[in-house]
Amino acid sequence: MIVTQDAGRSLVSGDVLVEDGRIAAVGRVDRSAAEVIDCNGCAVLPGLINLHNHAPNTLLRGVADDVPLEEMLPMAAAIDAKLTRRDVQIGALLACVEMIRSGTTSFHDLFYWEDEVARAVRESGIRGFLSWVTLDESKTTQHGSPLKNAEAFVAKQKGDALVTPSVGVQGIYAASEETCTKAKEIAERHHVRLHLHLSETRGEVEAQRKETGFRPIEWLEKIGFLGPDLTAAHCVWITINEVRTLARHGVSVAHCPVSNMKLASGGVAPVPEMLLEGVVVGLGTDSPISNNAMDMFADMKIAALLHKAARWDARAMPAQVVLDLATVGGARALHMEREIGSVEVGKRADLAVVSLRGAHTTPFYPENVISHLVYGCRGSDVQATVVDGQVLMADRIVRTVDEAEVVSRAQETAGELFEA
């Protein structure tokens, strides 16, 4: 069963033919192929798009649980300051393996030493949208100028099939007007996107209002930072007027419900209002520190349940809408909707094959397959993952890297960090 996520959200029975990295046919296919993946009893869907992540932080998984963001950040920063390039590369590679195993084919990262993350992307075969984070030099653990580092990264990485570079901003609490302005200038000069944390906590909003007289989104609009090339993560503590401001400027939003709930950010991001006002919204797991996992199936389910529970409305955020966030929404946010996000002829062959043969997904039929994917399926149900026509995993076996070796190296690296 092919869950196309096309404009009509068509469900098609049949095959998907892949040639030269692209989808050549969907449905009835009478041609042979060099390799056939048996998808009997499975759903073939567009690979999931994780719109906000900090992939190398797999090495910090579990080090700051059960504390709020304000306490988590310094705990993470203490270890973060010890990271070497080798550490970032192995942490990112572990993240790539985890995402491949759970059907994620693209991720939107925010970190430094993104050139090491890019190396992990190429080695594993996943698709990476990588934002080198900038912030004030007085507040960074980076070597050298974050702004210069970001520009050098963007200039070096452009033109790669799997790596799309961009400029990140940590957030207004760590980036002055000068830093934000220069970050945007770099992005515009190189024709790449921007990525930042925004209005994640009430404390962040109130501190900005107290310091400048403006709420974060109002302040960013005032300094000319908002625009269609910006993806803002979180946007939990925002008003309906700010939602309309985001829509007016074409800013997209990465909704990170699991991370926000775990950190007890309070409130609920007004995603239904964002969608109603025309804001493009995708789904993100956020960091392995604040989520612990990068299973987009888990995040889809929780995204749906959070809004239903908060609004006392079982019709809020239906399964189809949530699946849209994780596929076509993420693609639109990255301005990649012509290339990825749905199973259609001509698009890049980024696919996930999800088994529906488990006890927890039986019975399945066209009328309930979308609900099963959102409410019943798990990352462990993914049988195969394909990116750009390359089979990264089949029969639950990752082909591009030695998974056991990656896990072993990551465990050893984390041990060295915590012992130091």
User: What residues have CB less than 8 Å from 241, skipping those under 6 apart?
Assistant: none
Last residue of a domain, one of 333, 362, 386: 333
Q: Provide the residue-wise pLDDT of the chain in tens; the chain has 420 residues.
A: 999 999 999 999 999 999 999 999 999 998 889 999 999 999 999 999 999 999 999 999 999 999 988 888 888 888 888 899 999 999 999 999 999 999 999 999 999 999 999 999 999 999 999 999 999 999 888 889 999 999 999 999 988 999 999 999 999 999 999 999 999 999 999 999 999 999 999 999 999 999 999 999 999 999 999 999 999 999 999 999 999 999 999 999 999 999 999 999 888 999 999 999 999 999 999 999 999 999 999 999 999 999 999 999 999 999 999 999 999 999 999 999 999 999 999 999 999 999 999 999 999 999 999 999 999 999 999 999 999 999 999 999 999 999 999 999 999 999 988 875
Please tell me the distance from the alpha carbon of residue 144 to that of residue 132, in angstroms, as a whole number: 13
Please tell me the distance from the alpha carbon of residue 244 to that of residue 305, in angstroms, as a whole number: 25
Q: With respect to residue 420, please indicate whether it lies within any of the assigned structural domains.
A: no
Same domain for 180 and 91, yes or no, is yes
Please tell me the distance from the alpha carbon of residue 265 to that of residue 156, in angstroms, as a whole number: 37
Give the CATH number, domain containing residue 351: 2.30.40.10
Same domain for 228 and 252, yes or no, is yes
Same domain for 65 and 40, yes or no, is no
Give the CATH number, domain containing residue 177: 3.20.20.140
Q: In sequence order, what are the beta bridge partners of 354?
A: 43, 382
Q: With respect to residue 177, please indicate whether it lies within any of the assigned structural domains.
A: yes
DSSP string, 83-114: --HHHHHHHHHHHHHHHHHTTEEEEEEEES-H
Same domain for 13 and 154, yes or no, is no
Please tell me the distance from the alpha carbon of residue 72 to that of residue 331, in angstroms, as a whole number: 30
Same domain for 369 and 280, yes or no, is no
Q: pTM of the full predicted structure? A: 0.97
Q: How far is CA 109 from the centre of its chain?
A: 7
Q: With respect to residue 408, please indicate whether it lies within any of the assigned structural domains.
A: no
Same domain for 230 and 163, yes or no, is yes
Q: With respect to residue 73, please indicate whether it lies within any of the assigned structural domains.
A: yes
Same domain for 150 and 237, yes or no, is yes
Residue 142 φ/ψ, nearest 5 degrees: -70, 155
Domain of residue 226, residue span: 48-333
Q: With respect to residue 33, please indicate whether it lies within any of the assigned structural domains.
A: yes
Same domain for 353 and 300, yes or no, is no
Same domain for 224 and 249, yes or no, is yes
Same domain for 37 and 63, yes or no, is no
Q: With respect to residue 372, please indicate whether it lies within any of the assigned structural domains.
A: yes
